Amino acid sequence: MVEFSNGESLLARDKVVSGQQWDSGHKGVALKTLEKVLMRKISLAHPESSKEAVRNQVLEKREKLNVWLDAIDNEVVKNFGVFESKENPGVRFPFTKVVVRNVANSIQNSPVDSDSENLPEKTIVLFTPFMPPPGGAPDDIMNIIYDRVLTAVPDITKRDSHKARNITVYALGLPTSNWGSISEEWLNNLKENGFSEYGKLYAEFLAENLGQDSLETQQKRKFLFFAGSMGTVLASETAKQLPKIWKNLTLLLNNPTGVHSPSDKTIKLPVVGRVPLSVKGLQVVAGFGAEAGIRMALDDFVKSALSGPNKTREALSDVLLQKGIIPYESEQQNKLKKIVNGEAIKSLMRGNPVETDSYRIFIEQGMLDPATTTGEKIELLQSKSKKERFFKAGKHALGMGVNYTHWMDPMRWPDKWIRGIESYEKAVDAQTKQVK
């Protein structure tokens, strides 16, 4: 196991983020979705308003969100790096971090920063779901980065009895992505030990990056591991390696995938050879594949993310080249990454139970997810009212059923992000008045 060593409230809408280097493809989708959601909500809430008045309100909020998303994109590029394991030489994965206070201050400086160094810390770690090579870098989960940063923004200021925190969001990519690399030794360990090898790799990164903090800071720091799909297994395996943070750790998991009890039965298939055989394992592959196929046919954005090179990734590569960060895409590496990708699928089919006794876990289960839901779970959730869609998922684990499929894209609710931004602005305004 790895152990640690010792202004104006609307100013955001009028300011332009300087030095914009890269535009995430997710941003355009988020802004379009926001327009649709707000047009409907404002029109229903104020039927007496003219279309022009509604449109002006929507555009104001859209521009406000646009500035914040630009600031997050800048922070992602600035802090983008590649971690090389010391315990597994030759194994690398891309990562980035977003310091939430830095994002806010790049838009709107506030008087609360004077004591920010003494505030308690919170670290949010995002794990990447299954993506075939060359995908799986932080730029592929920008929608999740946006969601976690903008959800956390209100918490960096004092609101009523709420105590502010310094919050840092880390996004950890896959070693099979174009900026990652694989060693044959690590591949052999993966074949033998499964996803625990990912857990050791990510735990090494967290211990190295957070282990320099004072013991007092470590003891007070709160941790949130956030993941969906295959990423839930990676989050769980990483948590198992870090027992010293268990009492301060919460896992938030969307549609845990491949977390069923392991199966020793196998079946031999053409090309891929022997694979684990279980009903749940087959459901994972068939259900995920079916939804992925449908979404790729109907959604160009999903298609570009899952089917190889895309313009957004190429644009980021050009920017990162200026920082000396280059992809690892030799013929040998591409071959190893494809094998690792296949081993990940086999491990998902085999089963990887999530630890539910040592730390707090909250699960969002899509009732319509073809890869993970069960008839028993649907029946249980349908027997409850909409306000009671909860189920026990372990000693310290609570689950909630939601009417959604496997792709729980947080960009379907961008109006929630606007509420977080406006809550932050309101708190800053109140504190500015107190200072005056």
pLDDT of amino acid 376: 73
pLDDT in tens, 240-270: 999 989 999 999 999 898 888 887 787 776 6
Residues 150-189 pLDDT 10s: 999 999 987 665 678 899 999 999 999 999 999 999 999 9
Confidence of residue 394 (pLDDT cuts 50, 70, 90): confident
- The pLDDT, as a whole number, for residue 67 is 94
State residue 18's pLDDT score.
41
- Would you state the pLDDT for residue 282? 83
Residue 404 has a pLDDT of 80
pLDDT at 305: 67
d(CA 192, CA 181): 19
Query: What pLDDT is attached to residue 405?
Result: 83
| pLDDT over 70 (residue 436) | no
Question: Could you read off the pLDDT of 361-386 as tens digits, one per residue?
Answer: 999 888 888 888 877 767 766 666 65
| Burial class (CB within 10 angstroms; exposed 0-12, middle 13-18, buried 19+) of 160 | exposed
In percent, the amount of the chain with pLDDT more than 70 equals 85
The reported pLDDT for the residue numbered 99 is 96
What is the reported pLDDT for 218? 67
Asked whether residue 213 carries a pLDDT value surpassing 80, the answer given is: no
pLDDT score recorded for residue 335? 96
Which of 195-204, 208-217, 386-395 is predicted most confidently? Answer: 195-204
Nearest to 346 by CA among 232, 193, 239: 193
Q: Do residues 39 and 54 lie in contact, with contact meaning Cβ atoms separated by under 8 Å?
A: yes
What is the tens place of the pLDDT at every residue in 318-329? Answer: 999 999 999 998
Across 7-150, where does the E strand assignment appear? 81-84, 92-99, 121-127
- Predicted local distance difference test score (pLDDT) of residue 16: 35
Give one DSSP letter per residue of 177-191, joined into a string: STT-B--HHHHHHHH
Arithmetic mean of pLDDT over the chain: 84
Higher model confidence: residue 302 or residue 203?
A: 203
Average pLDDT of the segment spanning 80-84: 97
H/E run at residue 375: helix 375-382
Q: What contacts 44, CB < 8 A, 6 or more positions away?
A: none
Q: Go through the chain and tell me how many residues it has.
A: 436
pLDDT score of 269: 65
Predicted pLDDT at 384: 64
How does residue 307 score in pLDDT terms, banded at 50, 70 and 90? low
Which of the four pLDDT bands, split at 50, 70 and 90, describes residue 298? Answer: confident
pLDDT of amino acid 17: 37
- pLDDT, one tens digit per residue, over 118-129 is 788 899 999 999
Average pLDDT over residues 112-141: 85
State the Cα–Cα distance between residues 240 and 198, nearest whole angstrom.
11
Q: Is omega for the bond preceding 410 within 30 degrees of 0, making it cis? A: no
What structural domains does the chain harbor?
Answer: 82-406+416-435 (3.40.50)
Chain centroid offset of residue 156 CA: 19
Position 14 confidence tier, pLDDT thresholds 50, 70, 90? very low
